[in-house]
Amino acid sequence: MRFHDYPVAANVSLLFSELPYMERFAAAAAAGFTEVETWWPFADAVPEVAETTRLVEAIDTAGVRLTGLNFFAGDMPAGERGIATLPDRADELRANAAVVVDIARRTGCRSFNLLYGRLDADADAGRVAANRAISLAADSVAVVDGTVLLEPLAASLNGTYPLHTVEDVLDVIDGPLGGREDVRVLFDLFHLGSNGVDTTAAATKYADRIGHVQLADAPGRGEPGSGELAVRETVAALRAAGYSGLLAAEYVPSRATTETLAWAEQ
């Protein structure tokens, strides 16, 4: 699957949701995807070994390549958006990082999304904790030559999560993280567009700082073409500015996933 001649990965946490999770890798392959990515698929930061083995086997059996994996992000349905800002959960994230690295070694995955977390109560302590957590995550995945991705999220949907623009992420990377090259921007068109960001202009300006791109339209977070965002123009701007990474389809299909793929080239 390609778009503007970029390879496109299927985010199986949202795509093919009409199927049980472990069946989505094979469904992605059958639909023409050769790459997949996923949010953290387990309830706990440190699942049983049998659970991670089942994940790896599902990927291998489908014949697809895992190109993106989220760190554990806490209880997302309850409103958590990462645990990096929580000082009392640093050990939990450290343990999760070890599992992430194990999966990376077994699959070849090299890009890892770490949700920053919400800033509640003591915001200053939360920022300090997040800086330490991001550094720990980057140090952990360095053993597989991995990259940590930091993602702006839609302000209206994610409570006190503080990263809303590319500039917000770069303030973290270039400030307390000292400009680490192994921490990069996750450029999600839905989240940025929902925050009023001109995604085409941002793509042109920051292409060299972007580690990964995710596609969904807004409003609605549906497939490209279902909303009002300049998706094609933004990807064209990325191409013109020299972005050479992957794209990922990370949208909520408006109908059966295979019926929403007309925007991509098979």
Q: Which residues are catalytic?
A: 151, 250
Cα gap 128→86, rounded to integer Å = 9
Helices 166-174, 199-206: crossing angle, 10 deg rounding: 30
Radius of gyration of the chain (CA): 17
Closest CA to 247 of 62, 82, 43, 5: 5
SS3 188: strand
Place of tokens 């496109």: 8
Q: DSSP code of 115?
A: -
Sign of the alpha-carbon torsion through 127, 130, 132, 135: negative
Find out whether 174 and 206 touch, Cβ atoms under 8 Å. Answer: no
Number of Cβ within a 10 Å radius of residue 130: 27
Helix/strand/coil percent split, the chain, to 5: 40, 15, 45
Q: Which residues of 12-34 are buried (b: 16+ CB within 10 A; e: fewer)?
A: bbbbbeebeebebbbbbbebebb
| Number of Cα atoms under 13 Å in the Cβ half of residue 154 | 14
